[in-house]
Each structure stands twice: as structure tokens, then as C-alpha cells.
């Protein structure tokens, strides 16, 4: 397998093949599949897979996309790997939690090696652990192109590595696979591979700091109850789409975990909102029909469940218990989410809406409303687009449909 992988890497890294991959990024490739079984000595299916994955990497992994000679993994492995934005963010926060000399760390689930690459910039040595030798060789090849020369590679399972090493580490990072052997998705920590819950006793014999990446669909409190010594949980979104959970487990920690809802945007530093579940339980919240300004928290805050804490921190009224929208008479400038100025309340009638959306276009969204955005667009005849919003939501006593301007 190792020899075969090296042969594939050598073939795909050849100059003419790399130029072909780059030149065909935006072309219709269906004819190639029908006309050719082999192109430039490469099976056409493999070549097209590289072209398609490289195209996806333009946004997800721009460093890899812009580095000549990079070879990409099979689609399932590419889907599982971290984005550049989240990998860079994680390496920063893991570095902040480390104490002492910051000498060494472990990525127990190396995969395509993106997290390993960014973690390598924070320590003297990073250990990459991956039982699938084809992925290991691919990661090693790409890391060399990216000038990462402080990585040690171990073709082992996480369990075997932990049981065989006598070293201690500043941190151990694990991103369990959330696909079973028959490619079904799982979200619970116990169902993923490796079973990090079962590994924790052995992990804490090698380090005092464990960082666990988990599915954004995992219940945070369930994750906290299964893992030991959870010090902090990061709920990480990129451009308001929740991507992953990160549990920071400290062997020496005793206390109440902090939840940090983070949104990484295109520009500026990540937006962070910290709270605890104890704080959330103790908060009192007031309710109100919509006032002039309407607020929708970002995806990380909603996933984290900071429904009362966000209202309390920004002195906002909540629209309704199950409607996670908030309102105020005066604008709150630094709210971590979308802010709207309500211009009018309307009925879901195409003739009425024509006055507010003369071009027939609107950004339609709903929260706790009888109609989905698609159903509301169909009912009103509106198409996606334009600058204004049509927002449907439920108050304590009635339903609202608001024409609003995003601030």
C-alpha cells in the first residue's frame, strides 16, 4: 500500500499533471469521463477527483490551494478535515492553554494533516498519528511542500500509540471520525473512532491537556458529562455557520466550565461570547412585542443555548420563549449577531408586499413561525435577493411578519 501510494503521489505531482489539474478547474468535465479512461498516464476518475477537491479547497484551505504540487485526499477525508480558518483558530487557543516550554504535542487522528500543520507552528515537535498509511504518506508529502519539518509520523492507531509511547506531552488533540465503517454518520462521542471517552485515563497519563473536536450536532451538556475535567467548550462558527465543538479538558481543573461561542468572520478578530450554564439557568429575562430594533444571535450563541444570557448581557427583551429573537428601543452596537431596523409589519399577501419589495426580491427568514422561508416565498411570490428582509416570527400572543433593514 505504501509503495502504491508513493507511486500515485509521484504521478500526480508531475508538472504537466499539476498544470492540467489547475487549467481544468472551471471546465465541464463530463466529456472527459466519457472519452478517456486515462489522461497523462493517470486514471481519469482519479484526476477528476483531484480537480474537484482542489476547487473546494479554494475556500476551505486556501494555503493548500495556492501551494504548487499539493495532492488532495479522497473526498470523504477532505470532508472530515478542518478548514484553514478553524485549524488556525484552534492552534492559537491550544497554544494559549499550554504552560511551560511548549515542547511537544500529539494529533491522535492525523488524517489529511491540516490540524497537524497548524499545530506544528506552536511547538518544537508535533506527533502525527494515523493508521491509514496512504493518508500518512499524503500528509507527509504535503507537509514537506508547506515547510513543516518538525512533525514525527506514526502509522499507528490512537490506542496503540498511547500504549506504546513513554513520552509526556504538552497537549493531546483528537478529532474522532464521525463515520462508521459502512459510511454512516454518527455524532455521539462514544460512537466515533477512536472512543475518546474510553481513552481518557490513558491520555491523562501522558498529558494534562486534552482537546477534543466534536460534531456541531453533539449536545454540549452530554459531551461535558461524558468527558472528564472539562475546563472550556468552544462553539466555533465560520461566517455564522456552526462548524465544530472543541472541548478543552484539563486534568487539574475543578470548577464550572466556561462556554465560549465564537464566530470567525472574513475580516477582523473572531467574535466571542462567554457564559456558563449555571449563569444561563440563573438569568431572568423579560419579554416584549417587537420594538424598533430586532436582533438575531449568531449561530454559535444559538447552538450554545445562551438564550437568556445574551438578553441579560445586552439589556434586551426576548420576543417569546421559543423565538430566539430579541428587541430593544435603542440600538445595541456591539451585539454578536444580525441587527435589524423594523420598517413595517405586513400581511403575507403579494399585493401588500409589492409596496415594500417593488422588484419582487427579499431576504426571507423565519423563526418559530408557521411557514418556512420557502413556503413563505411561495405564498408571497417573492424571490431571493435585494437589500431588505422579510422576517416571520411568533410573539407571546400573535404572529409577526416584519419588513426590516439589516444594520
Q: C-alpha distances in angstroms, 258 versus 96, 149, 253, 361?
A: 15, 35, 12, 42
Distance CA 48, CA 68 (A): 17
What per-residue confidence (pLDDT) applies to 7? 84
pLDDT of 1 > 70? The answer is no
Q: What is the DSSP letter of 27?
A: S
Beta strands in 61-142 (DSSP E): 104-107, 125-129
Q: Are 390 and 362 in contact (CB under 8 A)?
A: yes
Q: What is the DSSP letter of 190?
A: G
Tell me the domain boundaries of the chain: 2-72, 80-275, 282-406
Which superfamily, per CATH, for 80-275?
Vaccinia Virus protein VP39 (3.40.50.150)
Q: Are 24 and 55 in contact (CB under 8 A)?
A: no
pLDDT single digits (tens) 336-348 = 999 999 999 999 9
Q: What percent of the chain has pLDDT over 70?
A: 96
pLDDT single digits (tens) 204-248 = 999 999 999 999 999 999 999 999 899 999 999 999 999 999 999
pLDDT single digits (tens) 267-305 = 778 889 999 999 999 999 999 999 999 999 999 999 999
Mean pLDDT of the chain: 92
Distance CA 71, CA 45 (A): 15
Distance CA 4, CA 330 (A): 65
What CA dihedral angle connects 8, 11, 12 and 13, to 10 degrees?
Answer: 120
What per-residue confidence (pLDDT) applies to 245? 97
Length of the chain: 407
pLDDT single digits (tens) 76-118 = 899 989 999 999 999 999 999 987 777 999 999 999 999 999 9
Q: Which helix (H) or strand (E) holds 311?
A: helix 307-313
Work out the average pLDDT over 149-158: 97
At 207, give phi and psi (nearest 5°): -155, 165
pLDDT single digits (tens) 125-149 = 999 999 999 999 999 999 999 999 9
Give the burial class of 78: count Cβ atoms within 10 A of its Cβ; 0-12 exposed, 13-18 middle, 19 or more buried. buried
Q: Are 245 and 215 in contact (CB under 8 A)?
A: yes
Amino acid at each position: 500500500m505504501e509503495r502504491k501510494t508513493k507511486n500515485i503521489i509521484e504521478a500526480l505531482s508531475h508538472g504537466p499533471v499539476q498544470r492540467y489539474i489547475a487549467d481544468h478547474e472551471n471546465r465541464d468535465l463530463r466529456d472527459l469521463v466519457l472519452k478517456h479512461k486515462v489522461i497523462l498516464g493517470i486514471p481519469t476518475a482519479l484526476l477528476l477527483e483531484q480537480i474537484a477537491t482542489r476547487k473546494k479547497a479554494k475556500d476551505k484551505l486556501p494555503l493548500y490551494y495556492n501551494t504548487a504540487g499539493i495532492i488532495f485526499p479522497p473526498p470523504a477525508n477532505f470532508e472530515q478535515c478542518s478548514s484553514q480558518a478553524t485549524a488556525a483558530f484552534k492552534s492559537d487557543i491550544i497554544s494559549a492553554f499550554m504552560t511551560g516550554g511548549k515542547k511537544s504535542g500529539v494529533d491522535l487522528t492525523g488524517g489529511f494533516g491540516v490540524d497537524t500543520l497548524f499545530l506544528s507552528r506552536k511547538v518544537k515537535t508535533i506527533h502525527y498519528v494515523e493508521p491509514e498509511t496512504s493518508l500518512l504518506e499524503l500528509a507527509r508529502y504535503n507537509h514537506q511542500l508547506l515547510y513543516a519539518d518538525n512533525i514525527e509520523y506514526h502509522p499507528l492507531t490512537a490506542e496503540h500509540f498511547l500504549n506504546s509511547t513513554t513520552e509526556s506531552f504538552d497537549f493531546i488533540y483528537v478529532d474522532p471520525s464521525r463515520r462508521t465503517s459502512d459510511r454512516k454518520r454518527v455524532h455521539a462521542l462514544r460512537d466515533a473512532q477512536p472512543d475518546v471517552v474510553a481513552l481518557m485515563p490513558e491520555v491523562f497519563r501522558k498529558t494534562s491537556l486534552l482537546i477534543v473536536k466534536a460534531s456541531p450536532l453533539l449536545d454540549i451538556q452530554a459531551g461535558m458529562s461524558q468527558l472528564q475535567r472539562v475546563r472550556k467548550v468552544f462553539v466555533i462558527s465560520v461566517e455564522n455557520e456552526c462548524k465544530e465543538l472543541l472541548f478543552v479538558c484539563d486534568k487539574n481543573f475543578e470548577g464550572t466550565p466556561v462556554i465560549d461561542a465564537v464566530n470567525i468572520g472574513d475580516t477582523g478578530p473572531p467574535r466571542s461570547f462567554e457564559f456558563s450554564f449555571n449563569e444561563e439557568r440563573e438569568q431572568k429575562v423579560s419579554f416584549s412585542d417587537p420594538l424598533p430594533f430586532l436582533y438575531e444571535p449568531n449561530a454559535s450563541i444559538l447552538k450554545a443555548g445562551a438564550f437568556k444570557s445574551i438578553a441579560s448581557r445586552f439589556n434586551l427583551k426576548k420576543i417569546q420563549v421559543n423565538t430566539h429573537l430579541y428587541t430593544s428601543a435603542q440600538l445595541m452596537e456591539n451585539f454578536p449577531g444580525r441587527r435589524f431596523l423594523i420598517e413595517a409589519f405586513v400581511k403575507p399577501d403579494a399585493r401588500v408586499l409589492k409596496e415594500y419589495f417593488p422588484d419582487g426580491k427579499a431576504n426571507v427568514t423565519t423563526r418559530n413561525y408557521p411557514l418556512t422561508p420557502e413556503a413563505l416565498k411561495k405564498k408571497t411570490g417573492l424571490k431571493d435577493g435585494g437589500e431588505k428582509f422579510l422576517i416571520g416570527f411568533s410573539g407571546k400572543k400573535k404572529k409577526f411578519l416584519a419588513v426590516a433593514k439589516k444594520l
